[in-house]
Amino acid sequence: MAEKVIQLAPMLGLIDAPFMNAIAEVGGFDEIFAPYMLADERSMPKPQVLARRFSGISNRVNLVPQLLSNNADAFVAMANILNNLGYPKVNWNLGCPIKFVVSKNRGAALLRDLENLERLLDSTIGRLKPELSVKIRIGFSSPDEFPAIVEIFNKFKLNELIVHARTAEQQYGGEPYRQAFIESAGNSLNPIVYNGDIACAAEANISLPNLKGYMIGRGAIVNPHIGLQIKGLPTNSAPTFRQFATEITHWYCARNSLNRLKELWKYFAKALAKPDDIQAKLCHITNAEQVSVAVDEIFET
């Protein structure tokens, strides 16, 4: 079986340039998905603005931009600008479950009306210059919706269909419906990518002929070597977890972005002994210098 593609999941508010750059140094991830940007007719960014958005990201990162939209013209316009900027593939976020996104009929909300979704895809795909990758949920309310969703996407040629195997109503908690994924994903005519709670190499063991690979989110923050481990590659010449976490910490400290850093450390702490003690230590800190000292102490102990 061909080697699986490993993708880093987009995570708005958690993953930006320093994390992307550091995980590209570690290796094992073939593609890194950027957190979503809104594609809306009323606020179409200029190409220079879009290019600046990704300016801190190293050339080693194979970046896939992601768009959130319910408007074919806006999606096509922004995706084609991104293609002109050098991105061969763009991802469409049809899985975001957050209330303020769903209430505007964007993200996972579009999975609730499959006739409308088909019309939207139909009026978009023929005009797109980049390849189209789509990220969905296994259903809005129930995994029983998944077979019909797969059928809709079978009418179109996609680069891939990435499935977060939780329903939108589950948000980010509870168990992914891994079995329901396995039962219907094989019917996809498009290459399919599994996403949801892959925390170690042994969990990347789905056997389907059309499975292109795995998208990994929170598991990659706790274990940045997971891409290498899934591929069976050595990790001893890659940066260590300490080097990885310290590099990212210094980047945020230098910019005084302590809130972002504390969010990330909620996950980093899980990779270390006594995660609750670590969080307790970091949550009262109010300046960057204190964070640097505390992180050095955490790794020394």
Ligand X SMILES: Cc1cc2nc3c(=O)[nH]c(=O)nc-3n(C[C@H](O)[C@H](O)[C@H](O)COP(=O)(O)O)c2cc1C
# of chain residues touching ligand X (CB under 6 A): 23
Q: Is 28 left (phi over 0), alpha (psi -120 to 50) or beta?
A: left
Residue 14 binds to ligand X (criterion: CB under 6 A): yes
Non-local (6+) Cβ contacts of 95 within 8 A are 107, 108, 111, 135, 136, 137, 164, 168
Instruction: Answer whether 252's CB lies under 8 Å from 260's CB.
Output: yes
Residue from 6, 7, 10, 227 touching ligand X (CB under 6 A): that is 10
Binding span for ligand X by CB under 6 A among 12-20, 51-59, 224-232, 248-256? 12-20
**271 is an interface residue for ligand X by CB under 6 A:** no
Binding-residue pattern over the window 85 to 104 for ligand X, x denoting contact by CB under 6 A: --------x-xx--------
Residue from the set 73, 197, 203, 247 that interacts with ligand X by CB under 6 A = 197
Nearer to ligand X, 9 or 291 (CB): 9
Question: Do the beta carbons of residue 182 and residue 189 sit within 8 Å?
Answer: no
Torsion of Cα atoms, 103 then 109 then 115 then 118, to 10°:
120
Stretch that binds ligand X, among 123-131, 210-218, 235-243, 289-297 (CB under 6 A): 210-218
* Helix ranges (DSSP H) in 85-240: 99-102, 114-125, 146-154, 178-185, 218-222, 226-231
x/- mask, ligand X, residues 144-183, rule CB under 6 A, reads --------------------x-------x-----------
CB of 198 to ligand X, least distance (A): 6
Stretch that binds ligand X, among 10-18, 19-27, 149-157, 286-294 (CB under 6 A): 10-18
Say how many Å lie between the first and final Cα of the chain, rounded. Answer: 43
In 168-248, beta strands by DSSP E: 192-195, 211-216
Closer of 164 and 212 to ligand X (Cβ): 164
Nearer to ligand X, 14 or 272 (CB): 14
Say which amino acid occupies 287: N
Rounded Cα gap, residues 297 and 99, in angstroms:
39
Residues that bind ligand X (CB under 6 A): 9-14, 35-36, 66, 93, 95-96, 135, 164, 172, 195-198, 216-219
